[in-house]
Structure 1
Amino acid sequence: MESGAGKHWTEEEVKALLSVWAEKNIRKQLYGTLRNKGIFIYIAKRLQALGVHRDWKQCRAKYKNLKYEYRTVKYAHNSGNSSKTMKFFHDLDAILQHEPAPQLTEEDANSRCLATLIPNAAPETTEGK
């Protein structure tokens, strides 16, 4: 079976990827880290068990492309343009609607700014008070 980087994903391959991606523990790991090579190695092994022979780089690229396309269509829908669509939109919506949007509180922003301004700043402790 051809597994070159330029080979298009079949509908069955994408469905298999989505089924693995939809698992709660996979979603949580993908959301919780930027260095996700290990997660995609695991996903590629799971896909191989399902008969899909893709390496981790192909899985990560497809994941990123699907996510980007989904967000583009979702933004268009939220802007009133419901004519823009994509295959697997509803599957991706079910997966990504559970992904928490990063929210930065004012306290978080202030502490991050202080941490970058004061290189050796340690958090305050209540010892000795």
Structure 2
Amino acid sequence: MSCKKRTQPGLVKWNNEETKALIALWGQEETQRKLGKMHRNRDIFEEIASGLMKIGFEKTAEQCKTKVKNLKSRYRTVLDHNNKSGNDPMFMPFFDDLHTLLRDRPTSR
């Protein structure tokens, strides 16, 4: 039996460099245009995973999709919290990068 630990796909660790690269690839104008047109976006996340691979980060399309989903969710949580009067500010890494991408988008995307 192998000594390698098995991890669930959703429990993949992302370091700051990987996350920043993911946001940069996901935030590209062409990628955003494609995401806006398509309901099934598997191919787009395959392209993002391929882009990450080219710069030395091994992530699958599913891992990229999950990370983007989690980043968007966390961004919305922080934004909603900070927009409520009386709350102490909440912070998250990459908030400014995400705000540039997501501030004018409907929450359903």
Normalised TM-score (structure 1): 0.69
Structure 2 distance, partners of 1:91, 1:32, is 22
Instruction: Report the counterpart of residue 95 of structure 2 in structure 1.
Output: 89
Instruction: Report the counterpart of residue 77 of structure 2 in structure 1.
Output: 72
Larger radius of gyration: 1
Count of matched residue pairs: 99
After superposition, the C-alpha distances for 1:72-102 in whole angstroms (9 at most, x for unaligned) are: 1111112133522211101100111243x38
Do residues 22 (structure 1) and 21 (structure 2) align?
no
Instruction: Report the counterpart of residue 63 of structure 1 in structure 2.
Output: 68
What do you get for the CA RMSD once the two structures are aligned? 1.9
SS at structure 1 position matched to 2:46: helix
Instruction: Choose the corresponding residue for 1:38, options 40, 43, 63.
Output: 43
Gaps of 5+ in 2: 1-6
Structure 1 runs of 4+ aligned residues shifted over 4 Å read none
Structure 2 distance, partners of 1:29, 1:79, is 33
The Cα of 1:21 is off from its aligned counterpart by 1.4
Structure 2 distance, partners of 1:51, 1:98, is 32
Q: Percent identity?
A: 36
Instruction: Report the counterpart of residue 3 of structure 2 in structure 1.
Output: none
Structure 1 distance, partners of 2:25, 2:68, is 11
Normalised TM-score (structure 2): 0.80
